[in-house]
Amino acid sequence: MDGNRRWAKRNNLPSVMGHPKGAETLTEIVKAALDLRIKILTVFAFSTENWGRSNEEITDVMNLFSIYLKKQLKFMIERKISLNVIGDLKKCPLFLQNDFNDTIEKT
C-alpha cells in the first residue's frame, strides 16, 4: 500500500487523510480478488521505513489498522478469508498485536 500520502496531497488534504482512503482501496482490491478467484493476496501495508514517520502519523496508522481489522472481521469470516501476517508485530502497540492475533485466530 503505497501512495496514500501522495493521494492526500493531490487532493489538498492532510497527508494522514490518505491512509483511510488506502484502507477503502484495499477493501475494493480484496473484493476484486475474490471475484477473480485469486487464492492468495499479499499486501505490504507497513514497512520498516514507515517507523521513521512522525509519531502522530504512526499512531494514526496503528489506530486505523485496529479499526479496519475489527470492521472487516465479519466480512473475512463470511468469505472464508484467512489473515496471516508476514513480519514482526512486536514493534506494534499491544492493542494492535492483540487485534491482529484475534483476527488471525478467527479467520
Tell me which residues are annotated as active site.
2, 50
Reduced to 3 states, what is the DSSP secondary structure of residue 5? helix
Q: Which three cell numbers stand for residue 52?
A: 521513521
Reduced to 3 states, what is the DSSP secondary structure of residue 59? helix
CB atoms within 10 A of CB 92: 19
